[in-house]
A and B are shown apart, each in its own frame.
Chain A
Amino acid sequence: MASLLRYAAYRVLLAIPTLIILLTVVFFILRVIPGNPIVAMVGMKAPPEYVEQLIKEAGLDKPLPVQYVEYMAQVFTGNLGRSLIFGRREVAAEIMDRLPATAELAVSAFIVSVLLGHVFGFLAARYGGRVDAGARLYAMVSYVLFIPFIGLALQLVFAVWLGWFPVAGRITPGLEPPRITGMYLLDSLLAGRLDSFIDALSHIVLPSVTLGLVLSGVFVRLIRNNMVKTLGEDFISAYRAMGFSERAVLWKAYRVAIVPTVTMMGLQLALLLQGAVLTETTFSWPGLGTLLLERIQYLDYTTVQGAVVVFVIIVVVLNVAADLINAVLDPRVRRGL
């Protein structure tokens, strides 16, 4: 337990430079490259007095080093400024409105991809030969499936032609459950609204299958390779020699094989998040990704910056979380300090 706590502290400390580096990269992209981002975004379309006012409000009239300090202070105090449009809401509030939708999509897609990955990866390692070759092809093809393409294709077949699921959106208007966590599936269950739950579920099937399918290839490979490696180890031969049934042996191998894949799951976060941005756009899913792209269109500079910063925070926090889960599962990780 003590070693786990020490590892946790060490891992959190290690995340701080990463966070600062990424925030600096974002600062560099959004402020240094364009010279003046608001002019770059608004372009020739707005009257100069208006542009000047926006520049002042976003604090972009100050020298870059001052801006950098202010920006970092803003991020670390959780104050992301106010939106430049739409009733000037707090950027943090805008983001909190959208975050649960992205979380709901990402979690369900992740579940789909892990399930597909485990089933196909296991089968590939178990049967080898053609099954293995097929799983390998599946892994390669699924990775290059361009999300808008596969998403639109699924919409066409399962929503337009078969009519099994709604084409897009998150829920039928009017059926929204009372907001508790902001995740419709969870909230509708907590509020005991079965109609909302079923409606939300039917909306999330196609987007999460789309995203889950694209991510699953990586898991197929991981599980397959780890299973094959584990099945070749001495303790498996020992189990076989001891007369355990093939089923029992496979189960033991599987339990050992999945442990290292947890670390690799952390590395899939980047894929999951960027996939979510594409999936949200394809399915008009009102999440963080659609917020980012919408606000770029509306030239809402502060919200764009806020959304990218929140993506940075999510990546850093979830990476730490993945490593901690790994440390809980595998004592060698935490002792290897």
Chain B
Amino acid sequence: MMLKVGMAIVAVVVLLSLLAPLIAPYDPTKRAGPPLSPPSAQYLLGTDNLGRDVWSRLLYGGQVIIGISLLATLLSASIGFSLGMISGYIGGRLDKVLNMVMDSMYAFPSLILAIAIASVLGPSPLNAALAIGVVYIPTYFRMARNETLVVKSSLFVEAAVSLGMPRRRIIFRHILPNLVPSLVVVATINIADAALTESALAFFGYTVTPPTPDWGLDLSSARSYIINGYWWLLAPGFFIVLTALGFSLLGEALGERIGKRGD
């Protein structure tokens, strides 16, 4: 059930944004009608303060948030996971230090760290992905390290060591495959977190520059108009929640399948 709903949500959101050029009725960056028109047959979700079609902006904005979130997840997963696995396997002083650094970073609010990074790098989609990617490295590090410690003490690894198998081969052949299921679960759930952080950075103006649509950015421009009751401007916010929910449902369901819960 959870798996199906999660998959359906993710599929819908991804498809809508991929198909944006085909299905968007208007150019998302250009005036399509009178400003602040309520939803109607002509403007499915109404128009914003500049007369741009909210539905078209929503479709194109999806490309930005999903693109940045996936890129960020790829970055933090590859760095955090390999560091955690290697550090956990080798152990020793380096492992102690790395573990302490990662634990400290993990305790700190990731969004505040991301804001600091984004503010010195300057607003751009790539910089936002970098900022988000960096702050989630500890999530993967902790998971990979903990699991490596468990697998390391299992009999088949001990056997491989006593057979004189080289360290690199043990890590790639015996440790890595055992960690992949957890990696998939943690990464799927993490996409939800990355999407929320991306939205927050967009809300503060650190992702794209106007008039390019991005859900968080569009929501922040809606702030000034909500006082007059223009409720349809909240549509991008609803899609942020929906996207994050889709990925968390999917991740949790996958976690239950393989008998492990994401952190």
Contact = CB atoms under 8 A, between A and B. Distances in A.
Nearest to A289: B112
Contact of B117 (A29, A147, A148, A270): A29
Contacts of B100: 17-18, 21
A140 interface: yes
Nearest to B230: A156
Given A146-B240, A152-B219, A29 B104 contact: no
A152 B107 CA distance: 28
Contacts of B101: 21, 25
Contacts of B120: 29-30, 33-34, 37, 40-41
B252 interface: yes
Interface residues of A, number: 50
A304 B107 contact: no
B105 A167 contact: no
Interface string B235-259: 0011011001100110010000000
Nearest to B6: A140
B134 to A, nearest CB: 9
B221 to A, nearest CB: 11
B45 interface: no
Nearest to A167: B227
Interface in B194-209: 196, 199-200, 203-204
Contacts of A292: 112, 115
A296 B241 contact: no
Interface in B170-205: 192, 196, 199-200, 203-204
A169 B249 CA distance: 35
Interface string A306-319: 00100110011001
B248 A152 contact: no
A129 B37 CA distance: 45
A291 interface: no
B124 interface: no
Contact of A278 (B104, B111, B121, B227): B111
A230 B8 CA distance: 36
B109 A270 contact: yes
B109 A149 contact: no
A33 B229 CA distance: 43
Most buried by A among B106, B120, B203, B240: B120
A135 B103 CA distance: 30
28 contacts: A18-B100, A21-B100, A21-B104, A25-B104, A41-B120, A140-B248, A146-B200, A146-B240, A147-B200, A148-B220, A148-B223, A149-B234, A150-B237, A152-B234, A153-B237, A155-B227, A161-B229, A267-B107, A270-B107, A271-B109, A274-B111, A277-B109, A292-B115, A293-B115, A293-B204, A296-B115, A311-B112, A312-B108
Given A18-B107, A40-B120, 8 more contacts: A146-B199, A146-B244, A148-B199, A160-B227, A267-B107, A273-B109, A304-B119, A315-B107
